[in-house]
Amino acid sequence: MSANRAKTFDKTMKLLLVGDSGVGKSCLLLRFVDDKFNPSFITTIGIDFKIKTIELNGSKIKLQVWDTAGQERFRTITTAYYRGAMGIIIVYDVCDENSFDSVKKWYQTVNQHAKDEAQLFLVGNKCDDTESRQVSEKQGEQLAEELNVPFMEASAKSGLNVNEMFYKLASLILEKNGEDLAAPADKLNVHQQSSVTGSSCC
Burial 119-140, CB ≥16 within 10 A → b, else e = bbbbbbbbbbeeeebebeeeeb
- For residues 131 to 170, the per-residue mask of contacts with other proteins, x marking binding by CB under 8 A and - elsewhere, is ----------------------------------------
The helix (H) or strand (E) run that includes residue 66 is strand 59-68
Residue 84 within binding range of other proteins, rule CB under 8 A = yes
Is residue 186 part of the contact set for other proteins (CB under 8 A)? Answer: yes
Altogether, the residues listed in the chain come to a count of 202
Span near other proteins by CB under 8 A; candidates 121-129, 150-158, 166-174, 187-195: 187-195
Distances in Å between the Cα of 136 and the Cα atoms of 46, 63, 133, 141, 152 are: 31, 30, 7, 9, 12
Nearer to other proteins, 76 or 148 (CB): 76
Provide, rounded to whole angstroms, the least separation between the CB of residue 84 and other proteins. Answer: 7
- The least CB distance from residue 201 to other proteins, in Å, is 6
Residue 17 φ/ψ, nearest 5 degrees: -105, 125
Q: Considering the complex, what minimum distance in angstroms separates the CB of residue 141 from other proteins?
A: 26
Question: Cβ contacts of residue 121 below 8 Å, gap of 6+?
Answer: 87, 88, 89, 90, 149, 150, 151, 152, 165, 168, 169, 172
* Binding positions for other proteins, 40-79, rule CB under 8 A: 40-43, 45-49, 64, 69, 71, 73-74, 76-77
Which of 100-108, 115-123, 172-180, 193-201 is the region at the interface with other proteins (rule: CB under 8 A)? 193-201
**According to CB under 8 A, which one of 117, 136, 146, 201 is a site residue for other proteins?**
201
Integer Cα distance of 92 and 107 in angstroms: 12
- Number of residues interacting with other proteins: please give it, by CB under 8 A: 39
Q: Which residues bind other proteins (CB under 8 A)?
A: 1-3, 5, 12, 21-22, 40-43, 45-49, 64, 69, 71, 73-74, 76-77, 80, 84, 98, 185-191, 196-199, 201-202
